[in-house]
Amino acid sequence: MDIRPTPYDHPDAVKLNDAVQLEYAERYKDDDGEGEGDLTPLDATMFAPPQGLYLIAYAPEGHPVATGGWRSQEANGEGYADGDAELKRMYVIPEARGLGLARRILATLEADARAAGRTRMVLETGTAQPEAIALYTSSGYAPCPKFGYYRDYPNSRCFAKRL
């Protein structure tokens, strides 16, 4: 697999983002059977180096199969701390799961954030994503006080790791 930096607004990134949004909507359906994707405001400039990085993994055949990014955060009213790097849009298409791509992308993002002077990687996920929680906890992440757009949602779970 070829993992390479790619702008967040690149067509392949948009395609994978659309796929993960559909998965979020399916996993987080309410009592009426309605679901929605992640509504956290994001734009391509947030992932532009050196203030962030967005990666896409490509299969040998050339199609995009996984993604992930980080963006800089500083202390603010949403619960972030100075020096934070926030992990966003970690996703592997179903056909490519189990190959270690998420772990490889995560390690690359952590190394890049550390090199950019970030001191802590933080992320928010939810209870309907047990695979994500297992990845993060097995990679050294620990629960932390809630932050970000979903900090007041009961199904939200936040994790952090010192870089």
Reported as a pLDDT band with limits 50, 70 and 90, residue 37 is: confident
* CATH fourth-level superfamily of 2-162: Gcn5-related N-acetyltransferase (GNAT) (3.40.630.30)
pTM above 0.85, yes or no: yes
Distance in angstroms (rounded) separating the CA atoms of residues 158 and 142: 8
For residue 162, the tally of other CB atoms under 10 A from its CB is: 10
Sign of CA dihedral 54, 161, 140, 131: negative
CA dihedral 119, 114, 92, 100 (to 10 degrees): -110
Render pLDDT for 66-79 as a digit per residue (tens, 0 to 9). Answer: 999 999 999 999 99
Domain segments of the chain as ranges? 2-162
Q: What pLDDT shows up at residue 70?
A: 98
